[in-house]
Chains A and B, each alone.
Chain A
Amino acid sequence: MDLITEFVAELRQYGIPVSLGESIDAHEALISELIDDRELLKEALAATLIKNEAHREAFESLFNIYFGVNVERGDAEDSEDTNKHEGEDSLLAGNTVSKSAKLSGGSSGSLSQEEVIEMLFNALVNGDKDRLNQLAKLAVSMFASIEPGRPVGGVYYLYRTLRNIDIEALQAKLKNALLKQRDKNTDENLNERFASDEATLRTEKLKKLIEDEIRQRLIEDRGKQAMAKTLKKPLLEDIDIMRASRQEMFDLQQAIVPLSRKLASRLANRRRHLRQGRLNWPATIRKSMALGGSLAEPIFKKPKISKPDIILLADLSGSVASFARFTLQLVYALSSQFTKIRSFAFIDGIDEITSYFNLTTDPMKSFYKINTEADIMWLDGHSDYGHALTEFVKKWPEAVTPKSSVLILGDARSNYHNPHSDILKQLSKKSKHVYWLNPEPKAYWDSGDSIVKEYAPFCDEVLEVRTLKQLELFVNKLD
């Protein structure tokens, strides 16, 4: 198997769809002898293989594994290797470091930590790329203490290196240095801001260099495929919302706006094309005039577009809050597609939260307000689905109409309280649809205090919704 085919196979492993045709395109692109440097190779592969910008990040990290970070590191490994080490060695003041020693690292060099930090700082201030590259290698040699064969991810070593060079202090120092270089005549405030932007950018670049270096050493140690496996991150659409890290959650939030735009236009389109209205006689006859009176083309009246009416009941207790927030946000982003949305949050008490979303454009602020102001706690702040449902029909008996679709977001873990499933039965009779979106894996349902089976008979469907993809599928179904 050639390298490109192997690379394509790895992309598919990641869940990025690459068709045979696209793989052929990639090969064809590389036939041209004009694709001669690494950047061009990367862009050529990206243009032929990656058809969705969201997959670009995964592509980049795999590309770095398969095609090396530096060109020298790739093909001409041996001849260039000596050169590369020479630079490093001169930094180490003649201290020769063998490859294995380099991998195991340790601060064996004659340079002290302070000296390395000082050198890094100077290189950052001058924006000297080659020097930074060398120093990044040196820093990894000295501080990462990479242990050969140990199956930990690169993040661990990265963290260790960054801590040793005290990256935050370095950034602050860099900012001040950059600020001093700047023209005193310009606005102080802006100067400050621009210097800080530049400092952040440069330190980010340094971080990347260090990351690249660590990855490269790990590949030398463990081989490509093993590395690709450890680096494997789920694609955004497959991330489990309940287990998302802070960064992933942030990325997910960012994805909501474009996703909702797409869903909205799809929903609108489908409603428009769903069914044609009745024949419009006058228009049909008018049209036939142009064709000498033959009724060639029937014209139909536009169908009446009916938009669903949504009632959201969201469990905001600790266990599922992140999921509920996320879903609420998506539904609100889609609000143009529904005639009416009313949302209610509950833990063991229940309160209407519709108005919180109209106040501000920042969803995080809305959630903060909901948590502090809304009256969703009744007794002890542990989920009680039965009580919440009872309160709901008592306080807002008019909310659910035959036109509404009721969405319940929660894990149905009611802490062994009375489920009051008869109330859900009433709701289901009164409404058009009842859907239950459960962020827990299906296998956990009905274990412990989960009472999915009590409620399931009265729902149109109980769905496992843990990822963006599943949520998207569900919203598509709504009408």
Chain B
Amino acid sequence: METNFVFNSPDDVQASLEKVDYISSKTITTAVFLADRLKKPVLIEGPAGTGKTELAKSVAASSGSRLIRLQCYEGLDEAKALYEWNYKKQLLRIQAQNLVTDADNETWKQLEEDIFSEEFLLTRPLLEAIMSAEQTVLLIDEVDRIEIETEALLLEILSDFQVSIPELGTLQAKRIPLVFLTSNNSRELSEALKRRCLFLHIDYPDMNREKNIIKRRVPEIEAALLEQIGEFVRSIRQMDLKKKPSVSESIDWAKTLITLGIHTLDTEVANDTISVLLKYQSDIDTAIKELAVNS
């Protein structure tokens, strides 16, 4: 098992991420840095649209690692997450053997060893990440969607970076991958899982970070409009809403305003385009009503 570090310092994390247009915060860089140093997975929580999945992708891109992604869903099982024996190929192999010789005890043993070798193994994302010779970033997306019992599947990988296959033995990671798990917090994850991970909560960014993010994603934006967008979104987030606008929505909004050829924001423009930011009618009503009141 090789252990070498991907990042040199927390500042290095920040700089590398910035190169791939991901504007991080101190909380984020520290967690990523520690994940690399301590060789521990990071569990990322936070509201939707704040860049949880994006972080894993950006870490992969900035460090030139391969990204392996496991999208979780209800009913995900071992065969889809870890590995599966290619039984069709195994059947063919057995039939081919039968054609050539009569199966006596000796050859059966040989055959058995043969068909349970790596050749007949179908690797799925988790095993793939372990077996890869190059540096990988493993993204286990929306881990809260799998059932609590299935979580156990992940534990061996997350703490020891190994997979045990009864027929083959234990496969150790060739290079320890950087692991990110994201969760939308739709259920409480098990203590066992949380204990094995570092924890990172990504919240809505503050105004300056948000402006930086928008600037990166929409470089053609004018400074004055950017300022107003930042202030407006900050104001909206303080309202009592069902779903607050996420970063991706403020980026969309910035693009919308540019497309419409708008240079300065006023209440009327805001009212007309607010549906880009807010996705519930009741939220839109609340916001428009509040905007009309002079605070």
Contacts and interface: CB of A to CB of B under 8 A. Distances in A.
Interface of A: 17, 19, 21-22, 25, 28-29, 32, 34-35, 39-40, 43-44, 46-48, 50-53, 56, 183, 185-187, 189-190, 192-194, 196-198, 258, 261-262, 265-266, 269, 273, 291-292, 361
B22 interface: no
Interface stretch (B60-68, B230-238, B246-254): B230-238
A197 B147 contact: no
Nearest to B37: A32
B34 interface: yes
A189 B267 contact: yes
23 contacts: A25-B38, A34-B33, A35-B10, A40-B10, A40-B26, A48-B34, A48-B198, A48-B199, A51-B43, A51-B199, A52-B194, A53-B201, A186-B264, A190-B228, A190-B266, A190-B291, A197-B231, A258-B185, A262-B185, A262-B188, A273-B147, A291-B87, A361-B282
A231 B268 CA distance: 47
Contact of A39 (B26, B38, B87, B201): B26
Contacts of B257: none
Most buried by A among B195, B232, B270: B195
Contacts of B18: none
B163 interface: no
A261 B186 contact: yes
B105 interface: no
B194 to A, nearest CB: 4
A39 B264 CA distance: 37
Contacts of B197: 51
Given A47-B31, A197-B235, A22 B195 contact: yes
A21 B186 CA distance: 26
Given A189-B267, A189-B291, 10 more contacts: A40-B10, A47-B27, A47-B31, A47-B34, A189-B266, A189-B294, A190-B266, A197-B235, A197-B238, A361-B242
Contacts of A22: 195
Nearest to A49: B199
B265 interface: yes
A262 B188 CA distance: 7
B187 A19 contact: no
Most buried by B among A21, A32, A39: A32
A332 to B, nearest CB: 15
A34 B30 CA distance: 10
Contact of A190 (B30, B195, B224, B267): B267
A53 B267 contact: no
B201 to A, nearest CB: 5
Interface string B7-41: 00110000000000000001100110110011010
Contact of B270 (A183, A190, A258, A269): A190
B258 to A, nearest CB: 17
B235 A194 contact: yes
A266 B187 contact: yes
Contacts of A197: 231, 234-235, 238
Contacts of B151: none
Contacts of A52: 194, 199
A193 B291 contact: yes
Contacts of B186: 261-262, 265
A29 B38 contact: yes
Interface in B60-104: 87, 91
Contacts of A19: 195
> Considering the complex of A and B, which 9 residue pairs feature the smallest CB-CB distances, nearest first?
A187-B266, A43-B30, A51-B194, A194-B231, A47-B198, A53-B201, A51-B199, A47-B31, A34-B9
Contacts of A40: 10, 26, 30
Contacts of B194: 51-52
A203 to B, nearest CB: 14
A44 B199 contact: no
A190 B147 CA distance: 47
B266 A186 contact: yes
Interface in B100-121: none
A305 B37 CA distance: 47
B56 interface: no
B128 interface: no
Contact of A56 (B195, B201, B265): B201
Contacts of A25: 38, 40, 198
Given A185-B264, A193-B295, A273-B147, A47 B30 contact: yes
B31 A43 contact: yes
A46 B43 CA distance: 13
A32 B27 CA distance: 17
Interface string B256-295: 0000000011111010000000000010000000011011
A265 B195 contact: no
A187 B235 CA distance: 15
Given A25-B40, A29-B37, A47-B199, A53 B30 contact: no
Nearest to A186: B264
Contacts of B148: 269
B34 A196 contact: no
Most buried by B among A22, A186, A194, A291: A194
Most buried by A among B10, B191, B235: B10
B138 interface: no
A292 to B, nearest CB: 8
B226 interface: no
A292 B201 CA distance: 50
Nearest to A43: B30
A192 B185 contact: no
A39 to B, nearest CB: 5
B179 interface: no
B286 to A, nearest CB: 9
A44 B26 CA distance: 10
A168 to B, nearest CB: 15
B76 to A, nearest CB: 14
A19 B194 CA distance: 11
Most buried by B among A19, A52, A198, A291: A52
B154 to A, nearest CB: 15
Contacts of B224: 183
B34 A46 contact: no
Contact of B199 (A29, A32, A46): A46
B200 interface: yes
Interface in B116-131: none
Interface in B166-209: 185-188, 191, 194-195, 197-201
Given A28-B38, A186-B265, A192-B294, A265 B231 contact: no
Contacts of B235: 193-194, 197
